[in-house]
Amino acid sequence: MKGNAIIGQSGGPTAVINASLAGVIEKARKSKKIGNIFGMKFGIEGFMQEKIIDLGNQTDKIISGLRTTPSSALGSSRHKLQQQDFPKIMEVLKKYNIRYFFMIGGNDTMDTINRIESYCNSNGYEIIGTGIPKTVDNDLYGTDHTPGYSSAARTNILNVLQAGILARDMQKVDKFVIYQTIGRDSGWLAAATALAKRKEDDAPHLIYTPEFDFNKDEFLKDAGSCIDKYGWVSVICGEGLKFKDGTPVSASETKDKFSNVEFGAMGGSSVGINLHKMLVDKFGYRGEFQITESLIMSAADRTVNLDRREAFICGIEAVKLAEKNQSGYMIALERKSNNPYRIKYSKVLLSDVAVKAKPMPLKYFNKNGNFVNEKFIEYIKPLIGKLPEFVELENKIVKRD
C-alpha cells in the first residue's frame, strides 16, 4: 500500500520525544511506500482543523536538531475523541491521501490511534496505525520502559541529590524537605530518586508512591524517626498519592477529559504542600516543599544519551513495522539483561496498552512501602548514566585544653 504519512505528538512532552519524531521522518524519507510526510500541528485537534505541516521538506539541519530539542516540536493536545470526530478525521485522511498514521505518546494516545485505525478500516478506508511510546511516567504496558522516562528520572535524581545536600547543611533552619514529582498512577519517577542516596543519612529518606495507600499516622511516625536519627528528613512523594478511601492526598476534585484527576492543577492543593502542613502541624518545625511539575519534561541539559538514542530508534522501528503492513501495534522495548544492559525492540498490540497505567511491581519496594529495594536499583541504574559525586567535610572538631 502506497500513500502519505502523518505524524502527531500527544499528551505531556519529554526531553526526547522529538528524537522519535526525527527517527520517523528520517526513515520515512527513504521509504518506497511513503510519499509525502506530514505533521499534525497540536495533535489530533489540529489535524481535524487541517493544521498540517510539511515535514518531508524540512532541512537536514532541522531534522538532525530535533534529536536534541526538548518538548513537542509539533505541539501537543489532550483531546479525547468523540464519536462525531471520526467522520471528520477520515475525511481529512482521504483528502491528503494519508495511509500511514503515526502518533508518539502515552496510553491515551495509543487509544486514539487504536480507535481511528479501527474506524477507518471498518468504513472502507485502509490505514496503517502505529504507536511510538512516550511518557516520563513510565506507566505504559508492554514495554520495559518508555523513552522519556530515563531523562526525567535523571532530572529528579539530580534535583533530590543537590537539594538533599542543601537540606542537610540547613537542618538547623529547616528540619524537612518535601519533593513532589509527577506520576498520576505510578511511582516510577518518585522511586528513581533513590539513586541520589549514597549512604544512610543521604537524601532521600522516605519515598511514597501511588502503589500504596497513604497513611498519615505512619508517615508522621516515619518522618519523626528520621528527624530524631539524622536531624532532618527528605521526603519524596508522587502527585497521585491517595488515602485508603480513594481520596487524593492533594485534595483535588478536578478531572481532565480522560477522567484523570488533575492533582494540584485546580480545585485543590498539592500533595507536597499538604504533607508539609502535616509535618508543621505535628512537630512545629520549619521546612520546605519543592514541586517540579512539567520542568522535568523539558530539561534538555540533563537528557540521558541512551534515552535519546532509544527514542530515535523507536521512530525508525515504527516505520519499519508500518512498511510491513503491520497495523495496530506500539513499538516496545524488551529488557534482555541489566549488566551488560541489552534490550530488544519489539511490538505490542495498541489495544493492550490503551487507557491503562502500569504501576510499579510491588517486588521493587521494601516491606513498609516507603522506599525501594535493591531489585529496583538494578532495574533503573543502567538507564540513568553516571551521576556527579560531591564531597562532604570530615567532622574533625577542633578541641583545646
Pick from 238, 229, 221, 231: nearest CA to 279:
221
Q: Are residues 365 and 232 in the same domain?
A: yes
Domain annotation covers residue 141:
no
* Model pTM above 0.85: yes
- pLDDT at 269 > cutoff 80: no
Say how many domains are in the chain: 2
Q: Which amino acid is at 14?
A: T
What is the length of the chain?
401
| Cα separation, 131 vs 102, whole angstroms | 6
| Residue whose grid cell is 532495574 | 379
Pick from 133, 108, 93: nearest CA to 329:
133
Question: Are 304 and 150 within 8 A, CB to CB?
Answer: yes
Give the three cell numbers for residue 214. 497513604
Q: Are residues 229 and 366 in the same domain?
A: yes
Pick from 388, 15, 400: nearest CA to 165:
388
| Cα separation, 352 vs 200, whole angstroms | 40
- Which of the four pLDDT bands, split at 50, 70 and 90, describes residue 261? low
| Residue whose grid cell is 485534595 | 251
Determine the pLDDT at residue 267.
43
Let me know the angle formed at the C-alpha of 111 by 242 and 30, rounded to the nearest 5 degrees.
130
Give 24-80 pLDDT, tens digit per residue. Answer: 999 999 999 999 999 999 999 999 999 999 999 999 999 999 999 999 999 999 898
Mean of all residue pLDDT scores within the chain? 94
- Which of the four pLDDT bands, split at 50, 70 and 90, describes residue 200? very high
Determine the pLDDT at residue 259.
56
Q: Are residues 277 and 202 in the same domain?
A: yes
Domain carrying residue 309: 3-135+303-353
User: DSSP per residue over 57-105, as a string?
Assistant: TS-HHHHHHGGG--S-TT----PPP-TTHHHHHHHHHHHTTEEEEEEEE
Determine the pLDDT at residue 355.
84
Share of the chain above pLDDT 70, in %: 96
Number of H helices, E strands in the chain: 12, 11
- pLDDT at 187 > cutoff 80: yes
Q: Are residues 330 and 370 in the same domain?
A: no
**Tell me, what CATH number does 363's domain have?**
3.40.50.460
